[in-house]
Chains A and B, each alone.
Chain A
Amino acid sequence: MRMTIGTDIVSIHRFNEFAHDINHPALKKIFTKDELDYCFSKDAAEPHLAARFAGKEAMIKALYARNIQDVWYTDIEILNKPNGVPVVELKKDMYNNLKLEISLAHCEDKAIAFVVILGEN
């Protein structure tokens, strides 16, 4: 079993210009519909968008460490269980063998994510 990791940090204010338009074209390049519905269901979407963006960047880094480079932002979906724990899913059947774990956090001005991938290859 091989482990790769990825991490990323982003300033929440970077998402201020998107936070009032769920249909912004840039958001649709990055997030799935379910992710956008979740983020925009909150009082302020910015920290949730930023945390998910950091999560996707962290995921891409962890995938790159396995030489997987054909994954786009919208192939990665980060949602939350009812208890709030984030869950990451890779929407590409060919990578179903990978076990993915993610942790997200944010403070007043920054969001951070950490990803672990376990798999044979």
Chain B
Amino acid sequence: MSDDQNVVIKKIFCEVLGVDESDVDDSTSYNSFRPWDSLKHLQLVSMLEDEFDIEFEMDDIIAMENFGLVKKIVAKYTQ
């Protein structure tokens, strides 16, 4: 996965969740990061699909349990 791609993913992530980039690292987790709820997760998924012209499988959407995994899963589709 490229650094440029990760920069874009983080920008989208922070825009959707309404948080500062300094608040997010690879361990930022769906279960413990209050702004990241199910509706925001679906918004995030749709914006990532739109940005990278991809369509995630349901299992991958569910597997995006932390920010590091979001980056890895996007990379799987864009490689």
Contact = CB atoms under 8 A, between A and B. Distances in A.
Interface of A: 10, 14, 24-26, 28-30, 53, 57, 70, 72-73
Interface of B: 38-39, 42-43, 45-47, 49-50, 58
Contacts of A57: 38
21 contacts: A10-B39, A14-B39, A24-B46, A25-B46, A25-B47, A25-B49, A25-B50, A26-B42, A26-B43, A26-B46, A26-B47, A28-B46, A29-B42, A29-B45, A29-B46, A30-B42, A53-B39, A57-B38, A70-B58, A72-B58, A73-B42
* B-side interface mostly: helix
Nearest to A50: B39
A103 B38 CA distance: 21
**5 closest Cβ pairs, A-B complex:** A25-B46, A26-B46, A26-B43, A29-B42, A72-B58
Contacts of A26: 42-43, 46-47
Nearest to B49: A25
A12 to B, nearest CB: 12
